[in-house]
Structure 1
Amino acid sequence: MRFGKRTELSGDSSMTGSMVGKIVLVVLLVYLLICLVVGWYWSREPDLGPLVASPEQNQMVTGEYTARTLDSLMVELLNKPGGYLSNDRFPPGLWLDNMPSWEFGVLVQVRDMSRALRRDMARSQSQSTEDANLAKAEPLFSTNNNRWMFPSSESEYRKGMKQLESYITRLHQGDAQFYARADNLASWVGDVSTRLGSLSQRLSASVGRAPLIEGGKLGNTTPWLEIDDVFYEARGTSWALVYLLRAVEHDFHDVLAKKNALISLQQIIRDLEATQETLWSPMVLNGGGFGVLANHSLVMANYLSRANAAMIDLRRLLEQG
């Protein structure tokens, strides 16, 4: 009798353990499904809709549109669906790599423009004093992009935004300066051209054939697992540049018109807008030669190369007397 009872209890325990295992498996599957759906939603890139209200309606002073655009890029970067993902340590953000690459592309352009504002555009000459708010904002935007805490990347970026917003307020009130000169713009255009040239080269290196470098040696190809990262970094870079170039077109309009450079700038914007077309493939394809599959990296590289060539021409026009 006692032996039978023990056998019955053992059987009940086995059934209970099996049910618990099934419940755990179902919960895990549901969790993974939720993570996949949320991850898909978080991976959607912002479109090219308006970020800043029309400068004519808000009676913005010269330079305010550029500064407000820079601030709005950071607002979008931190407040888009899922928030800022580059420093996530838990699923689904931990599993995503395309959106963090996109974020890095945007962040690089924010850093370049904030440096241009601090170094050139807000100073009358090289010997003049730099703006106090911009001097604090620029290094805060340069904080490592994947810091999780102590302090986190987002907290440092928000501090930089507060400094930038203080500059914008002072600029609107006439207590801060912005110098829309050709040499100031040419310096920033040179920085952008360098970024586009580098990205174009990295995208082109995805074809599987190593490029030739100095001395006739073979350079490095883009590793297979990094092809989509470079592609989305280029998408983020181009997205941010479209807005910054639109702002520059407004604030430097008279300078650009005087240098006969407006058409060149507008052509650059058109080429970069084309990089934001919908990617219909579920992944970045890397077809070779004239094969059946497309090579999305080479298509992106073509647009960036054209934009970079126009950037070089634009800089030359700005530097001419």
Structure 2
Amino acid sequence: MPTNSFLQRSRQVWWNIIDSFRDPDSRRQISKALLLITSIILFIFIVIMLWWGNPPSAFDPEVNARKIASEKQHEMVTGYTSTATLITIANTLLDKPGGYLTNDVMPPSVWMDNMPNWEFGVLVQIRDYSRSLRNDISRSQSQSAEDKDLIIAEPQFNFNSDSWLFPPTESEYRDGIKALESYLARLADPQRDEAQFYARADNLAAWLGIAEKRLGSLSQRLSASVGKIQINTALAGDPEAHQSTLTSPERVTKTPWLEIDDVFYEARGSIWAMIHLLKAAEHDFADVLQKKNALISLRQIIRELEATQATVWSPIILNGSGFGLFANHSLVMASYVSRANAAMIDLRRLLEQG
């Protein structure tokens, strides 16, 4: 019988394998082969992790927008650069080497934490700008109707960032990108006026108000890498103010040692996206910035933030003391972020008050 013959041959193969383990020489050869295979697999995983862990390169928002407009035969209108930049940032988040890693459950990406934190930082900026685009920039006033595509895009980017299946995060974010692309196409259509981008000083100030709070939070979290005594100033300036729970006048804040690199790479990702959106705003809000004599201020903020994207030559994020023997990468980045945050506050006030 063919079936019996196959079973007999299979049993014989297994008995031969078992017999080979009884021989010391065979066991040594098998152990060496397994060790070699394991070493090769680990080496491949390390190479892949290094490749996937490298952040995407920066791009020029204006050049990128003109390229997209040329490919899609769109007209370059006010707001086209900012919207195209937001779409490109979202596509980069999903299509960079390795794809979107935050929700991966298989090696080697499941062992990586720096890039997922970088992705979350980028995602925060996408969420903030899409919310500002929906609530402020695309609307003429508070009583105006919301844009039909931005109503879809904004909540899609607020979907759970680490959902693996049912549905996967990537599919939800791609739906958000499709809605933004639909808004961009309607924005560039000269025959239709239902999609708008209002490049006004109050709209830019509204988004900068959100961005400055993000920078302030990142600055505090980065500075907490060495631990510091923080005085409670939450109610300063208003003697009649109250808060929900009583807190001590002073408290020590310190980032856990295992989370220092997480905060560092989240900040790098968030600032990477913010730089591109600020450069796009420099183009779309150029007339407003020039009228307010604020163009130089915006460029200075961009320059400060670009310094945070310098190459990290150390294989790990060092956490030395402020004036110690070793560097503290978090404090170095916090210094740039703090200066940019202060300059952004001044820029927002200039736009609001003139």
TM-score, normalization by structure 1? 0.93
Residue 234 of structure 1: how far off its partner (Å): 0.7
CA distance in 2 between partners of 1:63 and 1:122 (Å): 9
CA distance in 2 between partners of 1:156 and 1:239 (Å): 22
State the partner residue of 2:310: 277
Residue 17 of structure 1: how far off its partner (Å): 5.0
Pair 1:208 & 2:227 matched = yes
| Structure 2 runs not aligned, ≥5 long | 1-16, 70-74, 234-247
Alignment partner of 1:36: what SS?
Answer: helix
Whether contact under 8 Å (2:61, 2:280) holds in the other structure is no
Whether contact under 8 Å (2:230, 2:252) holds in the other structure is yes
Task: Name the aligned partner's letter for residue 84 of structure 1.
Answer: Y
CA distance in 1 between partners of 2:217 and 2:29 (Å): 56
> What does the per-residue CA deviation read over 1:220-278, in whole Å, with 9 as the maximum and x for residues that have no partner?
21110000010011111111111100100111111111111111111000011111111
After TM superposition, the structure 1 = structure 2 runs for residues 78-89 of structure 1, keeping only pairs within 5 Å, are 78-89=94-105
Alignment equivalent of 1:178, drawn from 197, 207, 217: 197
Pair 1:35 & 2:59 matched = no
Whether contact under 8 Å (1:64, 1:172) holds in the other structure is yes
> What does the per-residue CA deviation read over 1:119-149, in whole Å, with 9 as the maximum and x for residues that have no partner?
0011111111000000000000111111111
CA distance in 2 between partners of 1:56 and 1:95 (Å): 39
State the partner residue of 1:133: 149
Residue 11 of structure 1: how far off its partner (Å): 6.7
Alignment partner of 2:228: what SS?
Answer: coil
> What does the per-residue CA deviation read over 1:69-100, in whole Å, with 9 as the maximum and x for residues that have no partner?
00000111111111111111011100111101
Pair 1:150 & 2:154 matched = no
After TM superposition, the structure 1 = structure 2 runs for residues 1-321 of structure 1, keeping only pairs within 5 Å, are 12-15=20-23, 16-50=26-60, 53=63, 58=69, 59-174=75-190, 175=192, 176-214=195-233, 215-321=248-354
Give the length in aligned residue pairs. Answer: 313
CA distance in 1 between partners of 2:92 and 2:322 (Å): 38
Question: Cα RMSD between the aligned structures?
Answer: 1.8
Alignment partner of 1:218: what SS?
Answer: strand
Task: Name the aligned partner's letter for residue 220 of structure 1.
Answer: T
TM-score, normalization by structure 2? 0.84
| Structure 1 runs not aligned, ≥5 long | 1-8
CA distance in 2 between partners of 1:47 and 1:11 (Å): 56
Task: Name the aligned partner's letter for residue 224 of structure 2.
Answer: A
CA distance in 2 between partners of 1:37 and 1:56 (Å): 35
Residue 209 of structure 1: how far off its partner (Å): 3.3
CA distance in 1 between partners of 2:60 and 2:211 (Å): 22
- The structure-2 alpha-carbon separation of the partners of 1:263 and 1:13, relative to structure 1 and needing over 3 Å to count, comes to closer
Whether contact under 8 Å (1:52, 1:72) holds in the other structure is no
Alignment partner of 1:114: what SS?
Answer: helix
**Greater C-alpha radius of gyration:** 2
CA distance in 2 between partners of 1:241 and 1:306 (Å): 15
- The structure-2 alpha-carbon separation of the partners of 1:87 and 1:210, relative to structure 1 and needing over 3 Å to count, comes to farther
Whether contact under 8 Å (1:77, 1:103) holds in the other structure is yes
- The structure-2 alpha-carbon separation of the partners of 1:14 and 1:285, relative to structure 1 and needing over 3 Å to count, comes to same
CA distance in 2 between partners of 1:181 and 1:51 (Å): 20
